Amino acid sequence: MANFIKGRPLSTIDQQLFQIVLEAYKRSFSVQSDYARASAELVGMAASLGLISTKVHNNIFSRDWRPTSKGLHWLEAQNIDISEDDFEDAPVEHDA
């Protein structure tokens, strides 16, 4: 697990948020999945911070959490290899 971002150690909350965003990137997960329910507080925090979203495009939403471009940049800062295609498909920002 990554322990640093931009040279600073990750807090426990940041480490947990990192796992949420990484899960959304690797597999995505349904808003009503067991994973989302078990991690409801962290999923809410990640969404509120604009790291994950169900937004697909404009006013189109899905039932799955996926990382936003901000979330992908956050993962990339953790040395997770992100393809350019992933950035093109990611919503720019979650409108909170």
Q: Which of 18-22, 53-57, 66-70, 85-89 has the lowest mean pLDDT?
A: 85-89
Instruction: Sort strands 4-5 and 8-9 into parallel, antiparallel or unpaired.
Output: antiparallel
The answer to whether the pTM exceeds 0.85 is no
Identify the structural domains of the chain with CATH numbers, from first to last. Answer: 11-77 (1.10.10)
Residue bearing the bigger pLDDT, 71 or 83: 71
Express each pLDDT in 8-46 by its tens digit: 666 788 889 999 999 999 899 999 999 999 999 999 999
| Token reading at 5 | 């971002």
